[in-house]
Amino acid sequence: MELTRDVYRLSQRFPQHELYGLTSQARRAAVSVPANIAEGHTRDSIKEFLHHISFALGSLAELETLFLLAESLGYFRHEDVVALLNKCDQEGKMLRALQKNLKRKLSSP
């Protein structure tokens, strides 16, 4: 959720004409990460949890892409995007570790 808060703060700097474009898309992708983790955690099976972890990882990749695009359009300083991408990388590592652990549980008798 910390990453989502950071995205909301940083996305306030998008130009007004991006309100329904990059701003909205980045915020939806950012919210999707913890929302999918939470939803998957409440499901009845590890398989369903893994499915939602996969969605969260996809949203994380989408978020990274959107901010790289925003940087290339000159909306953000390189340093701001690098800081956000580092947080995305950390989040991705945690999610992949969780995913690996859940897969191990799923395959053990």
**What is the residue range of 30's domain?**
2-107
Structure tokens at 103: 């897969």
pLDDT computed for residue 14 by the predictor = 95
**Model pTM score:** 0.92
pLDDT computed for residue 42 by the predictor = 96
Q: How far apart are CA 109 and CA 104, in angstroms?
A: 10
Count the domains in the chain: 1
Q: How many CA atoms lie within 13 A of 5 on its CB side?
A: 2
CATH code of the domain covering residue 53: 1.20.1440.60
Q: Of all residues in the chain, what percent carry a pLDDT higher than 90?
A: 95
What DSSP assignment string belongs to 57-73?
HHHHHHHHHHHHHHHHT
pLDDT tens across 27-85, in order?
A: 999 999 999 999 999 999 999 999 999 999 999 999 999 999 999 999 999 999 999 99
- Read off the pLDDT band of 108 (50, 70, 90): confident
